[in-house]
Amino acid sequence: MRRLKKLYEGKAKIVYETEDPNKVILFFKDTASAFDGVKRAEIKGKGEINNTISSILFEILERKGVRTHYVEKVSEREMLVWRAERFPVEVVVRNLAAGSIVKRIGIEEGTEFKRPLVEFFMKNDQLHDPMVCEDHIVLLGLAPEEAIPIMKETALKVNEILRDVFSKAGIKLVDFKLEFGRLPDGSVGVVDEITPDSMRLWDERTGEKLDKDRFRFDLGDLLEGYRKVLEGLQSP
């Protein structure tokens, strides 16, 4: 399916319309960004790796019965997806303490939670994606009230599936964020991407960080970490 007019360009992807009004193409860019876009760089090959990783993970989720916008990988950098009415909410699932929660609560990085923790954040760069509760989501009209339990339940199911997938690859799923939207058939599904840009992944044996924290905090070559993730997913 051919890509037509550009509909939207974000930090990491460009969205194009297609001949089918219900489907769009996501083009994965080589741009890496952090701290609300303050830190940016072009890293050749990043888009191809992220498209492949995201396609693999979406295909796994679809096979496990998770509703997503994924249709198929159409090229090295392009993914065909269902057009969705995206909710401006990020759903974060945490298995271990890392990132913002360490600063907010003062908990030591790497602390394992007794059960997965689910948090909601409003997508708004100007406000630095503030944390919100379920009542905020309803009162601010960020998502339909009936979608909230679906998002939470789905996020926990995705966590269960991906923890198993990454564990088999020798990788610890520390945390990740998901976005949701209303799909053309009226259902609520996972949209956007699932890549090391939106997850924290640590090598189970060495503790090496294999995700975007490598870029955020200058911890090593970004693509080297992403390739290790991809190799782990592709290994038998």
Mind listing the pLDDT tens digit for each residue in 25-83? Answer: 999 999 999 988 789 999 999 999 999 999 999 999 999 999 999 999 999 999 999 99
Mind listing the pLDDT tens digit for each residue in 136-157? Answer: 999 999 999 999 999 999 999 9
CA distances (Å), origin 39, targets 16, 135, 145: 26, 33, 35
DSSP letter for each residue of the chain: ----SEEEE-SSEEEEE-SSTTEEEEEE-SEEEETTTTEEEE-TTHHHHHHHHHHHHHHHHHHTT--BSEEEE-SSSEEEEE--EEEEEEEEEEEE--THHHHHH-PPTTPEEEEEEEEEEE--GGGT--EE-HHHHHHTTSS-TTHHHHHHHHHHHHHHHHHHHHHHTTEEEEEEEEEEEE-TTS-EEEES--STTSEEEEETTT--B-STHHHHTT-S-HHHHHHHHHHHHH--
Closest CA to 14 of 27, 32, 24: 27
Q: Is the pLDDT of residue 172 over 90?
A: yes
pLDDT confidence band for 159 (50 / 70 / 90): very high
Closest CA to 9 of 37, 39, 45, 43: 37
Q: Domains of the chain by range and CATH?
A: 6-82 (3.30.200.20), 85-221 (3.30.470.20)
